[in-house]
Amino acid sequence: MELELEFQGNAKAILWTLVLFLVLVGLGAYGRVVTPNPPKVLTWADWRFRAVQRQYTRQLAAMRRDAEALAALLDSRPNLRTAWQAEQIAARWQRAEVLDALTGRREALVQAAQAVQDWVAGRREEEQVREVLQHALEGLSGE
């Protein structure tokens, strides 16, 4: 009994099947790497925790960027543009909704922005403003 297999007409189908198989194996290997140990289905509470954790990380990073921008403003010449940028940073964080864990840090950042504005207007000394800004940066650098 002889059995002949003809693959000429199905070459494309075989190629696509092989590619699909390799993609699935690759996705499985990737999933094994990123799945927490022991592997489990996330509960709603786990999912919410991870979402809040991502939100916390994003907000903290944005606050750090703005604090560093304030430090750069303090190193520049005090002029109208400097005051306007500090005012924009303060206004953005005054109206922003942040997580409860970040409210103290937000207030420190707003105070630092207002201190930079006061420095530009001549109502504060540069050293006082540096202390306020340093306090805000220390609060934002620690986890």
Whether residue 117 lies inside any domain: the answer is yes
pLDDT at 18 over 70: yes
In a domain, 48, yes or no: no
Share of residues in the chain with pLDDT > 70 (%) = 93
pLDDT level of residue 87 (50, 70, 90 thresholds): very high
Provide mean pLDDT across the span 6-24: 84
Q: Give mean pLDDT, residues 2-8.
A: 67
Instruction: Express each pLDDT in 113-131 by its tens digit.
Output: 999 999 999 999 999 999 9
Is the residue at 75 inside a domain?
Answer: yes
The residue whose two tokens read 């050293």 is 127
25 in any annotated domain: no
Q: Is residue 49, in this structure, part of any structural domain at all? A: no
Q: Do the domain assignments include residue 9?
A: no
DSSP structural state of residue 1: -
Residue 105's domain spans which residues?
58-141
The share of the chain scoring above pLDDT 90, in percent, equals 73
In a domain, 33, yes or no: no
Sign for the pseudo-dihedral over CA of 93, 95, 99, 100? positive
Q: Kindly state the average pLDDT of the residues 63-85.
A: 95
Q: Is residue 94 part of a domain?
A: yes
How far is 53 from 129, CA to CA, in rounded Å? 32
Once rounded to an integer, what is the mean pLDDT over residues 76-81? 92
Q: State pLDDT tens for residues 30-64.
A: 888 877 777 777 789 989 999 999 999 999 999 99
* Residue 103 · residue 128 · CB < 8 Å: no
How many separate domains does the chain show? 1
